[in-house]
Structure 1
């Protein structure tokens, strides 16, 4: 049985007088999620995408999120403040039969929501939900080498450890960069 209910609030908190809501996505988020991802691509953020999404691609993506969430293979969280999507995070269960206890975390935050503790809150919430609702015990997260902000949060605030480095794996707008892999056991 899944705990996924579109739009269900997972957590509410405040940072620097800003009200923040972590919740499951709903279809009405389509335009906000598309705007969020395309804004990150425009700023050349160090995320896994470099090409803007079309509305049709975002529809396919959101449809996939709903299916995987209902199958208990993913937890996807929208970060909302003032009725605007400010970020998102997901925890995807590994699909190999012998690795179903492992979850892979991805997240993205708008510029104005960085360095406020929102990413830390999101990651810790995903780990807690992953353990409780999906039975996960090992969490993986990765980043582009040189993203010191993310490395600091993952390592010092969330308890992840660097376990690997893949030289030149990331092509960040024509520049080859190393890919760091981090894990946390719970």
Structure 2
């Protein structure tokens, strides 16, 4: 089995990132966007990557054999009253789950956040039934801070609650 490399994203990753997003969106209901509404192009992905780099956000990928299999993106608060905050999201292709990739990516995120003079808190939102992800977040010290009831409404009419989770660093 070849090694999985965790590294900072590059603009040249846009086509592989697009492919990754299409895969993870097709695999389940744990992401906010539905596959039907995802219309990004390679150029859109390039613009998104460049924007994150310019904003000094933290964006890393997990790569195996030249294929992106995971993404973690963290955004700094942009207003004075929330510049001490950093929100993040993560996606990993199902066949690469339970291999420690998410843990490695979150470790890198927390190391980055601790080195930043402004960031005091890292937080996320996660669907309440995504127990596997919640377990990982709790392992890293994230705590449930609130719940948004029936916050997500799926195409079939069913709902999902969403947890707010965070930790001070």
Structure 1 stretch displaced more, 129-138 or 175-184: 129-138
**SS at structure 1 position matched to 2:163:** strand
Q: TM-score, normalised by structure 2?
A: 0.90
Instruction: Please name the residue that 2:119 is paired with.
Output: 136
RMSD: 1.7
**SS at structure 1 position matched to 2:123:** strand
**SS at structure 2 position matched to 1:42:** helix
Out of 141, 146, 150, the residue aligned to residue 133 of structure 2 is: 150
Instruction: Please name the residue that 1:126 is paired with.
Output: 109
Q: TM-score, normalised by structure 1?
A: 0.82
Matched length: 167
Question: How far did 1:45 drift?
Answer: 3.6
Q: 2:151–2:162: 8 Å Cα contact kept in structure 1?
A: yes
Q: 1:91–1:130: 8 Å Cα contact kept in structure 2?
A: no
Instruction: Please name the residue that 1:170 is paired with.
Output: 152
**Runs of at least 5 residues in structure 1 that lack an aligned partner in the other structure:** 1-16
**SS at structure 1 position matched to 2:3:** strand
Q: 1:79–1:88: 8 Å Cα contact kept in structure 2?
A: yes
Question: How far did 1:55 drift?
Answer: 4.5
Out of 69, 74, 77, the residue aligned to residue 94 of structure 1 is: 77
Question: How far did 1:18 drift?
Answer: 4.2
Question: How far did 1:79 drift?
Answer: 0.8
